[in-house]
Amino acid sequence: MQYDLDLGEDVPGIIILDIGTTSTDLIIAEEGRTWVRTFPSGGHTFTEALIETFKLTYSKAEKTKAEAQTSKYRRQILNALRPVFSDLAQEVQRSIGYYQSTHPNANLTKLVGVGSTFKLPGLRKFLSQQLQMEVVRLDEFQKIKPSGRGAELFSNHAVNFASAYGLALQGLGLADIDVNLIPVSVVRDRLWANKIKWFGAAAALVVFGSLLSFARPVLDGRYSEQPPEFENDIKRIIDDAKALKGRFEEIQQETDINAKAGNIIQTLDHRDVWKHMYSDLSQMLASGNPQPELFSGDPDLVSAIPPAQRRVLDLVSFDSEYPTVNRNASSSRTTGASDSDSGNPIVRCKMVVETPNAEGVSFINSSILNWLRNNQDRDGVPYRLIVPSGSSALIPGAVMVVPGGDEPVGDSARGGGNGATHAPAVATSAARAVSTGSQKAATAWSSARAASLRRQAGGSPVVETGGTTPI
């Protein structure tokens, strides 16, 4: 504007008010000097006032503001914008008042409006009344006169070209003011951006020089020849070092007690299992409900009960073994509880009992086998008895026993019974029937279901009973 209006030292002071989108610049040019103040009020503020008053969208409010001069709702639009006019005028008055307080001899006679907001009807008149000075709008430039078909379009938008006009003059070196208003932080960032490539090149040179300084000693050491007089000494030192290293590894293996200590500690695991197993053994022997007279110690009371009527079970033997868990064992079984999903320790037990009771196998089943089935899961016992459903230890018929032998003969000895293919049959109860008045012994053998001890999922071992297996 100084170039176009020839604002020299002899020209009275003039105010240039540039209303932008979000802020307004007030520039006072007087006697070849300029004074600038920016405050946060712009065209967006006028648009927001229309949105709040008429409940319009932003694009609709912008269109209404641009067409305010010819709109039939011109009066309503101006009434909605009047508060914004007042705020703008107040900011301009404050700026002028501050400038005049610091420049008492200032002579400000004219205000030139720049920006599309000055196309609003009534704005120039309102500011003129409030400021008591002439307010004009920049509709044309004095020193540039476009021609051709774009001249009219240029004139219609001349109010918006002031900033572009000034920058073009500054680029051509025709502007009297060459002040750069770009923020210092932006200028600094641009300067550093231009220097990054030079910093990268310098860093690469430093790295290359460092590699050269380290490479030289390495290359010298690689190609240097060892003096002959030191070869024997060096070889001896290397051999001694290898021998010491081997000795150290041997001592380290001998003193490694981690595995041994762990194995010793594991011997304490499940110590309470056998306590409960012996308790269960006693309860199984007592499951036949023996007559109290048999344990009175009085021979007369004992002999008063015929042997064939005595409900007593005598333990002949109780053996146990610790087999390795076979996860695929269940694939070859026809009945019995599965242990393929456990992977826990197993203890297999074999129990042999004898009874003089005349019922023989039936008595064994009604006592020991029923006790096993009724006590599979109990609180306070660190294992579980698994008895397959639908199985029975009762074997029809009697089997003759060869005196002094362990294998029975007869029909049942050739197989039969439920689960004959169940490999881990572990607990065997034998019922021996003794005939009164005869020395001939007949034995009916029955498997009381395999009982294998293994750990449950929670860490407690379980006792699994297998299928019926004829012995």
Rounded distance, CA 96 to CA 108, Å? 9
pLDDT of 468: 32
Q: Structure tokens of 317?
A: 């033997």
- Cβ neighbours around 136 below 10 Å, total: 12
Cross-strand partners of 26:
17, 37
> What is the structure's pLDDT at 243?
92
Query: Which domains are present in the chain?
Result: 2-182 (3.30.420.40), 272-464 (no CATH)
Residue 403: its pLDDT value, please? 31
pLDDT under 70: residue ranges of the chain: 1-10, 142-143, 175-182, 216, 218-229, 256-260, 324-344, 386-471
Q: How far is CA 113 from CA 6, 18, 175, 375, 458, in A?
A: 17, 6, 21, 103, 88
Q: Report pLDDT digits (tens) over 217-249.
A: 766 665 555 566 677 888 888 999 999 999 888
Q: What angle do CA 273, 274, 278 make, to 5 degrees?
A: 125
Which helix (H) or strand (E) covers residue 350, if one does? strand 346-354
Give residue 388's pLDDT.
55
pTM higher than the cut 0.85:
no
Q: Per residue in 400-456, pLDDT tens? A: 222 333 333 333 333 333 332 222 223 333 333 332 222 222 222 233 333 333 333
Max CA distance (Å), the chain: 157
| d(C-alpha 346, C-alpha 213), whole Å | 69
Looking at residue 437, its pLDDT comes to 28
Helix (H) or strand (E) holding 14: strand 13-19
Q: Which helix (H) or strand (E) holds 409?
A: strand 408-409
What is the per-residue pLDDT for 184?
A: 76
First to last CA, the chain: 121
pLDDT of residue 295: 85
